[in-house]
C-alpha cells in the first residue's frame, strides 16, 4: 500500500489533484485509516491515475472522464472533442490573421469579423437596374410596395436588410439585383413581392466607409481574406446599407457592411 505522498510521486499527480479526484469519485483511496485519516493507495491504481492524467491532457472534462469510466465509448467523446478543438483552432487562426494584419499595417482599413445570422422571415424583390446608383431609389419603392400590399406589415426593431447582385459577373449596366428585408410574419404576395424563410447563415463581414465607387477594394480584401483563412463561399455576397445618400450629405460618410456567406 502507498501513502498519498508516495502515490503522488509515482503518479505525477499533486496531492491536491488526488484529493480533488477523490471528491469527484474518479480515484478514491483503497483504504482510509479511521484514526488518523491517512489515505492509502494500491499500485494497481497507478494505471487509473495515468488514464485520468492522459484524458485531462487531451482536454476531457471531469464529467467526460466519468462517462468513459462508466462505459461510454471513448472514441465518440474524442471525436466530439476533436470537432470542438478544430472550431477553436479556426477561430484562433482567424484572430491571429487579423492581429498580424494590424501589426503589419499601422492603419488597417478593413477588419474582418465572423458571425452567424439567425434564421429570419424576409420579403424579397428582384429587378434589373440601369446603373448601380439606382439602387438607392429602388429599395424605398420596394418597401413602399410591400407595405401597400400588406397594410400594417411590421419589421423588427433592428431589421436586417440586404442586396445581392445575381449576375455571374461584374456589370456596369443592366444589373440583376435582389433585395431582402426582415419582417415579423409572412404576408400577401404579388408578381414582384415574395416572402420566404431565410435560413441561418455563417458570414464573414467587413465595413466599407465611403463611396460605392471604391467598394471593389473591400470585396477584394474580403475575398483574399476568405481564401487565406480556408473559408468557402456558400452564397451571394450581401450588402447592408447602414448610412448613405438618404442620411449623409458626403459620400465619405456612407457606410456599407459587406457579408460573405461561408462554410
Q: Are residues 130 and 20 in the same domain?
A: no
What pLDDT shows up at residue 54?
92
Q: Are residues 181 and 68 in the same domain?
A: no
> To which residue does cell 447582385 refer?
165
DSSP one-letter code for 116:
E
Q: Are residues 120 and 10 in the same domain?
A: no
Q: Are residues 102 and 130 in the same domain?
A: no
- What is the pLDDT confidence band of residue 104, given thresholds at 50, 70 and 90? low
Q: Integer distance in angstroms from the first to the last C-alpha of the chain?
A: 56
Task: Give Cα separations from 244 to 122, 208, 216 (angstroms).
Answer: 22, 12, 17
Task: Give Cα separations from 22 to 64, 115, 201 (angstroms).
Answer: 16, 42, 45
Task: Give the range with max mean pLDDT: 8-17, 79-88, 94-103, 237-246.
Answer: 8-17
- What is the pLDDT confidence band of residue 94, given thresholds at 50, 70 and 90? low
Q: Are residues 140 and 227 in the same domain?
A: yes
What contacts 80, CB < 8 A, 6 or more positions away?
A: none
pLDDT in tens, 69-78: 999 999 999 9
Q: Are residues 156 and 219 in the same domain?
A: yes
- What is the pLDDT confidence band of residue 97, given thresholds at 50, 70 and 90? low
Q: Which three cell numbers stand for residue 7?
A: 502515490
Residue 12, domain CATH: 1.10.1660.10
Cα radius of gyration rounded to whole Å, the chain: 29
Quick one: how far is CA 120 from the chain centroid?
A: 17
Task: Give Cα separations from 204 to 71, 233, 263 (angstroms).
Answer: 41, 10, 10
Q: Are residues 121 and 241 in the same domain?
A: yes
Distance in angstroms (rounded) separating the CA atoms of residues 190 and 37:
81
Residue 234, domain CATH: 3.20.80.10
Q: Are residues 83 and 178 in the same domain?
A: no
For residue 54, how many C-alpha atoms fall within 13 Å in the half-sphere facing its CB? 9
DSSP one-letter code for 176:
E
Task: Give the range with max mean pLDDT: 148-157, 160-169, 199-208.
Answer: 199-208
Q: Are residues 139 and 219 in the same domain?
A: yes
* 107-116, 132-141, 168-177, 192-201: the lowest-pLDDT one: 107-116
Q: Are residues 46 and 17 in the same domain?
A: yes
Any bridge partners for residue 122, and if so which?
182, 196
Averaged confidence pLDDT in the chain: 87
State yes or no: pLDDT of 98 exceeds 70: no
For 93, the domain range is 73-107
pLDDT in tens, 106-152: 445 678 888 999 999 999 999 998 887 788 888 889 989 999 999 98
What is the count of structural domains for the chain? 3
What pLDDT shows up at residue 107?
46
- The answer to whether 212 touches 256, Cβ cutoff 8 Å, is yes
Any bridge partners for residue 114, and if so which?
204
Closest CA to 55 of 65, 67, 44, 70: 65
Q: Are residues 97 and 200 in the same domain?
A: no
Q: Are residues 239 and 118 in the same domain?
A: yes
Q: Rounded mean pLDDT of 36-52?
A: 93
What contacts 176, CB < 8 A, 6 or more positions away?
A: 126, 127, 128, 165, 166, 167
Amino acid at each position: 500500500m502507498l501513502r498519498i505522498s508516495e502515490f503522488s510521486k509515482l503518479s505525477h499527480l499533486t496531492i491536491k489533484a488526488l484529493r480533488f479526484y477523490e471528491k469527484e469519485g474518479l480515484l478514491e483511496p483503497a483504504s482510509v485509516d479511521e484514526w488518523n485519516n491517512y489515505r492509502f493507495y494500491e499500485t494497481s491504481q497507478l494505471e487509473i491515475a495515468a488514464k485520468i492524467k492522459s484524458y485531462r491532457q487531451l482536454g476531457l472534462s471531469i464529467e467526460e472522464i466519468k462517462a468513459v469510466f462508466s462505459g461510454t465509448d471513448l472514441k465518440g467523446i474524442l471525436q466530439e472533442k476533436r470537432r470542438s478543438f478544430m472550431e477553436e483552432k479556426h477561430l484562433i487562426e482567424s484572430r491571429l490573421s487579423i492581429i498580424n494584419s494590424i501589426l503589419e499595417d499601422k492603419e488597417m482599413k478593413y477588419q474582418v469579423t465572423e458571425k452567424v445570422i439567425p434564421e429570419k422571415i424576409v420579403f424579397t424583390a428582384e429587378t434589373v437596374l440601369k446603373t448601380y446608383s439606382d439602387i438607392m431609389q429602388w429599395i424605398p419603392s420596394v418597401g413602399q410596395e410591400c407595405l401597400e400590399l400588406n397594410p400594417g406589415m411590421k419589421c423588427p426593431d433592428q431589421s436586417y436588410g440586404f442586396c445581392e447582385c445575381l449576375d455571374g459577373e461584374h456589370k456596369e449596366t443592366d444589373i440583376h439585383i435582389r433585395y431582402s428585408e426582415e419582417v415579423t410574419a409572412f404576408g400577401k404576395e404579388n408578381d414582384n413581392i415574395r416572402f420566404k424563410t431565410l435560413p441561418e447563415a455563417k458570414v464573414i463581414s467587413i465595413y466599407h466607409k465611403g463611396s460605392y465607387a471604391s467598394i471593389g477594394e473591400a470585396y477584394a480584401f474580403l475575398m483574399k481574406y476568405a481564401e487565406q483563412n480556408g473559408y468557402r463561399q456558400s452564397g451571394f455576397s450581401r450588402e447592408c446599407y447602414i448610412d448613405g445618400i438618404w442620411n449623409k450629405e458626403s459620400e465619405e460618410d456612407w457606410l456599407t457592411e459587406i457579408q460573405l456567406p461561408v462554410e
